[in-house]
Structure 1
Amino acid sequence: MVAPTGSSRSLLSRLGTSHWVSPLALLVLWEAASRIGLIPARTLAAPSTVAGTLFAMIVSGELPSNLLVSFQRVLLGLSIGITAGVVLALIAGLSRRGEAAVDPVMQIKRTIPTLALTPLFIVWFGIGELPKVALIAFASTFPVYLNLYSGIRSVDPRLIEGARSFGLSQAQLIRHVILPGAMPSLLVGLRYSLSIAILVLVVAEQINASAGLGYLINNARDFLRTDIIVVCLMVYAMLGLGADWLVRLIERRALVWRPSMVDA
């Protein structure tokens, strides 16, 4: 038996056939079923129709303008949620009193489904932009808090004692020892927060939206435009993948000192 050469292995690796066979087969079956009428257009549009709709929405500017609105919502909600999570984790992780004051409340918050708060947020904040941003912020706070809090408490005590023996102040200790040690945990929490924010955005944009991807989905539902619905779902998926890629990029830069990141 002849072993594959290095160039052959490299070609197979670049093609990544094992990763693309099943998605491509699914698309072919989907298209074929749509063409012969097994899947009616009002039930699910064919891939070719979805691709044509995507192109038309991009050219007309309809998709970019609404995507920008959705991006602004999730960015604002994430900014608030991540900031709150970091501050609360620092308070709880660096002080026993802070832990007693913050952690019980955060654990109660963890048991409350975020989406169950939607009606209450509408009562409190109305049906404008505020409840949408508030839902995203509320949902994205706890993953950052929990992981950073755990990371702070997991920092090696010997590192802390060694830093104190060198005369570092509390602020210097937090900046140069505790936060770098807890950074991997913070990035894990950030990854979870970004994923959850995209999921909550899907629901939040169903609240009387006048622009955004949710607005497009609501209009498409009323007119049975499954092609537009699929396009918007694809964009939501791309947002999630893009968010995960961003965290991985930050991880490679921020954790360059870790041996495991050298070949990442």
Structure 2
Amino acid sequence: MTAVTTTPTGTTTKTSAETATETAASTAPPAVEEEHQVRRRRRLSPGKRLPAGRIAGPLLVLALWAAASAAGQLDPGAIPAPWTVVETGVRLWTEGTLPNDVLTSLRRAGAGFAIGLTAGIVLALASGLSRIGEALIDGSVQLNRAVPTLGLIPLFILWLGIGETFKIAIIAIVVYIPIYLNTHAALSGIDHRFVELAEVQGLSRFAFVRQVVVPGALPGFFVGLRLGVTGSWLGLVVLEQINATSGLGYMMFQAQNYGRTDVILVGLVVYGLFGLVSDTAVRAIERRVLSWRRTLSS
């Protein structure tokens, strides 16, 4: 038991045990104190990434789908079981139909994405680094954004014909808009103090773009890139149902005419895999390029 001594003046004198405890706490190593502070801070963060965390959601949906199908809760004619879809996909791949459609879709999406990516970056740089460019470009892009892109299909068919050209052009428009908007917003959001610092340091135009503009615009660019990749697949599934003789969208359209929901689900699964793989690839590149940043997700 700890004793407490009270002086005649009413003040309390600490015992030797209490004094020793406080002395030990005050002389604790700084590393231990810093570790305790870090632990307290880490309680506010989301924590470590879960292994294969991004596929946990799709796996849960697949498990629920399989359980409902096995229990007879789903109509096989409307929503076939997962194993039925897998069997159909294997059969289509073995027959050579699915590989041909996949390659055709990848070629269309790749061509449109490359054009849209280039256009989005060039227009964003021209508009974000020049007031004249912003006056000439930004208003037109904002107007284009307000017009539904798929609503341009009839006009593009009259302009470019009903072949492959108009499909690639529509995909390019779907891709370039989010890339332009996010990159331009990132350029506009660069702190003006960095610009003043570059002027004081006497940086050339090229050095300014390389050392200030590019690092400042990359986070927004990658957001637009992810949206553009997703948009290319969304536009493709619609465009391939218009006067197409091959492609995943054409395969799904023909399956609709014959009531083959299993084939339609095969096409949707392939589109989903394309979107998941491409988004994962963009995320991996983003983490590698922006490894110097310390954000909540990292």
Aligned counterpart, 1:80: 115
Maintained 8 Å contact 2:85/2:263: yes
Aligned counterpart, 1:9: none
What is the alpha-carbon root mean square deviation over aligned residues?
2.2
Encode CA deviations 1:212-244: one digit per residue, 9 max, x unaligned.
101211221222221111100100111111121
Q: 1 CA distance for matches of 2:224 and 2:243? A: 30
Query: TM-score scaled to structure 2, two decimals?
Result: 0.77
2:164 alignment partner AA: E
Q: Cα distance 1:176–1:203, how it changes in 2: closer, same or farther (>3 A)? A: same
Aligned counterpart, 2:132: 97
Q: 1 CA distance for matches of 2:189 and 2:246? A: 44
CA-CA distance at 1:28 after TM superposition: 1.7
Show structure 1 runs of 5+ residues with no match.
1-12
Aligned counterpart, 1:229: 264
* Equivalent of residue 281 in structure 2, options 234, 241, 246: 246
User: Are 1:146 and 2:187 an aligned pair?
Assistant: no
Aligned counterpart, 1:70: 105
Q: Cα distance 1:32–1:208, how it changes in 2: closer, same or farther (>3 A)? A: farther
User: Are 1:33 and 2:72 an aligned pair?
Assistant: yes
CA-CA distance at 1:75 after TM superposition: 0.8
Q: 2 CA distance for matches of 1:46 and 1:31? A: 8
Q: 1 CA distance for matches of 2:144 and 2:221? A: 19
Of Structure 1 and Structure 2, the greater helix share is in 1
Maintained 8 Å contact 2:101/2:246: yes
Q: 1 CA distance for matches of 2:273 and 2:68? A: 23
* Equivalent of residue 255 in structure 2, options 210, 214, 220: 220
* Equivalent of residue 240 in structure 2, options 205, 212, 219: 205
Aligned counterpart, 1:174: 209
CA-CA distance at 1:40 after TM superposition: 4.7
Show structure 2 runs of 5+ residues with no match.
1-49
User: Are 1:126 and 2:165 an aligned pair?
Assistant: no
CA-CA distance at 1:21 after TM superposition: 4.7
- SS of 2:219's partner is helix
1:239 alignment partner AA: F
Maintained 8 Å contact 1:31/1:48: no
Q: More deviation in 191-200 or 155-164? A: 155-164
Question: Number of paired residues?
Answer: 247
State the structure with bigger RCO (CA 8 A, min sep 6), 1 or 2.
1
Maintained 8 Å contact 2:65/2:81: no
Q: 2 CA distance for matches of 1:114 and 1:15? A: 35
- SS of 1:259's partner is coil
User: Are 1:259 and 2:294 an aligned pair?
Assistant: yes
Aligned counterpart, 1:53: 88
* Equivalent of residue 190 in structure 1, options 220, 225, 228: 225
- SS of 1:260's partner is coil
Q: If you compute each CA radius of gyration, which structure gives the higher value, 1 or 2?
A: 2
Q: Cα distance 1:162–1:75, how it changes in 2: closer, same or farther (>3 A)? A: same
Q: 2 CA distance for matches of 1:113 and 1:15? A: 36
Query: TM-score scaled to structure 1, two decimals?
Result: 0.86
Q: 1 CA distance for matches of 2:270 and 2:153? A: 23
Q: Cα distance 1:22–1:247, how it changes in 2: closer, same or farther (>3 A)? A: closer
